[in-house]
Amino acid sequence: MLVVVALVLTAVAGPAAAHFSLTVPPTRLFDELEEINAPCGGGNTPSATRTVFTKDSKVTIKFADKQGTASVFLGIGENPTTFPIKVGELTMSKFGDYDIPLDFSSVPAANAKSPATIQVIVNSDGALYQCGDVTLNLATATPASSSSSAVPPKTSSAPAATTAPAKTTDGGYATSKPSYPTDGPILSGAKSTGASAVLAGLALLPLALL
């Protein structure tokens, strides 16, 4: 009789000794005796509140065994019964709290802002299941505008303005006159011509007196 009792206690204590608890997102149900039941360890009813999960969110579990592997899956909808999208995995080597990084790249773009449920399966001395409900918000930020698209500054294509000639006092318009050198061949020629005319006049003066 004592042997039978011991075997029953061992069978019950086995799964309990290897339990885990899903803390982020909060588990639907934590029951050490139900954890062995797929898909959600007995937690078949969605939570009243959901945790918003972005592309940088992580799953957190409290692990109570020496070693094991945690796999994270995602089901789309208010209360999915299948979890086809694997989004994370982590190997654990001791008791403790673990953050499991997630990769949502396999989630269809149409479901980027959908209700969903996270399923965590821990394998140590057998498979254990827990689920938590989330709302996905995986939209990416709008890229900043490129500086190369800036409109170049406008340049003036109008012809340069011209200045009207200034009026003179007699109503006409001043015009530029050609300038002549004050010395050189032209001026020298003018001086020699004037001298010749004076000499010729002096030569004719006696004749005029006669």
Residue 5: the pLDDT is 40
Does residue 202 carry a pLDDT above 80? no
What the chain holds in terms of domains, given with CATH numbers, is: 14-136 (2.70.50.50)
Question: How many other C-beta atoms lie within 10 A of the C-beta of residue 111?
Answer: 16
* Cβ neighbour number for residue 40 with a 10 Å cutoff: 28
pLDDT at position 40 is 98
* Residue 68: partners with Cβ closer than 8 Å, 6 or more residues away: 18, 20, 91, 92, 122, 123, 124
Total length of the chain: 210
Which pLDDT value is given to residue 147?
Answer: 41
Residue 87 tokens read as: 């989004």
> Mean pLDDT, the chain, as a whole number?
76
pTM of the predicted model over 0.85? no
| Average confidence (pLDDT) over 122-133 | 95
Can you list the pairs that 187-194 forms with residues at least 24 positions away whose Cβ atoms lie under 8 Å? none
Of 24, 22, 21, 42, which Cα lies nearest the Cα of 33? Answer: 42
Q: List pLDDT tens digits, range 33-87.
A: 999 999 999 999 999 999 999 999 999 999 999 999 999 999 999 999 999 999 9
